[in-house]
Amino acid sequence: MMNIMHPALRRLDLNLLLIFDAIYRHRSVRLAADELAMSTSALSHALSRLRITINDPLFYREGHRMCPSVYATQLAPSIASALNSLNQELTPQPKFEASGSKECLQIAITDFTAFCIFPALMHKLQHEAPGLRFELIYLPHSPALTELLAGEVDLALGFSTSDEIRHPELEEISWFEDEYVVISNISRTHLTLEDYLAARHLVVTPWNEKRGVVDLRLEQMGYTRQIAIKTPSMLSAPFIVAESDLLMAIPRFAAEKLLPAMNIKIFTLPFGIPSFQVKIYTHKRSGKRGATHWLKAVLQRLAEEANSGR
């Protein structure tokens, strides 16, 4: 036979528990009816139904007071606790108000996404949401699907690839599209494909990947390049390039941000490669849905401003 879950509850109108709790606390049908916005006759009828279902008198009238039975006294703490717990859990989530929020969002990032996004984002939020906080988390892979699905991060910023598998429980939006360029020290005057293949290279591998899109494209063309350094961090990479003969493929947005502060030059990548997208990933059932939706809208506005200024 099929097991029937909660057999006692299936034969009980759970609204009657509110009746019981109100009468028990007030010891009065009239006061309980006032609290529940019911007529005394309707409440008395509901109490009769509960007595039949429970098979216990539950309350006796003594003068103007309703005194609980022994069984009602035993039931009361559990019913009160269950109602309080349900009321707290089922209370509608308040609308997210950015200006007063002290929410903390866990965001999966790389050096590049943090470098491109957070300077402008924090400048904007110091006025619009000064109490909003972030924990930036570096993860060993992209996008952070497992962590999003497990609720370990609220939002992930990652690169999109053409063979990316979409998960039905995740939402994604394209935040930013960019192309790769090459940076070198200031002594270089030109960069042909032959120059590129003859040079040594620095490669940033944020997830310690074996090969990136540049090397895959070169392989398709029948070429390989000389990789002198692989590093998971973009922070030191441009400084190394500026003080050496190494080349580095880097998103144009980051290269142009670095140019005023460093002794580097920017060159067009001397072979064709598809542009890439930075995407924002969130879980459809996120517990911080109001905050993540608001933040995604802010990020989209920042991307539009960045694109319009290029």
CATH assignment of 101-177+276-308? 3.40.190.10
Residue 309 pLDDT = 60
Q: What is the pLDDT of residues 238-264, one digit of tens each?
A: 999 999 999 999 999 889 989 998 999
> Is the whole model's pTM more than 0.75, yes or no?
no
Residue 270 pLDDT = 96
Residue 141 pLDDT = 67
Residue entry with tokens 């965001």: 107
Pull the structure tokens for residue 134.
Answer: 């972030």
CA distances from 26 to 30, 47, 70, 272 (A): 9, 14, 17, 79
Domain with CATH 3.40.190.10 in the chain: 101-177+276-308, 180-268
Residue 1 pLDDT = 43
For the domain made up of 180-268, give the CATH fold. D-Maltodextrin-Binding Protein; domain 2 (3.40.190)
Q: Are 204 and 232 in contact (CB under 8 A)?
A: yes
CA distances from 201 to 195, 214, 245, 248 (A): 12, 11, 8, 6
Contacts of 172 by beta carbon, 8 Å cutoff, 6+ apart: 160, 166, 279, 280, 281, 282
Pick the CATH number of 7-86 from 1.10.10.10, 3.60.150.10, 3.40.50.2000, 2.40.170.20: 1.10.10.10
Q: What is the pLDDT of residues 152-188, one digit of tens each?
A: 888 888 776 554 556 777 788 888 888 999 999 999 9
CA separation for the pair 253, 241 (Å, rounded): 17
Domain with CATH 1.10.10.10 in the chain: 7-86
Pull the structure tokens for residue 171.
Answer: 């939402």
The list of the chain residues with pLDDT below 50 reads 1-2, 163
Tally of CA atoms within 13 A in the half-sphere of 3 that contains its CB: 2
Pull the structure tokens for residue 91.
Answer: 């209370």
Average pLDDT of the chain, as a whole number:
87
CA separation for the pair 298, 302 (Å, rounded): 6
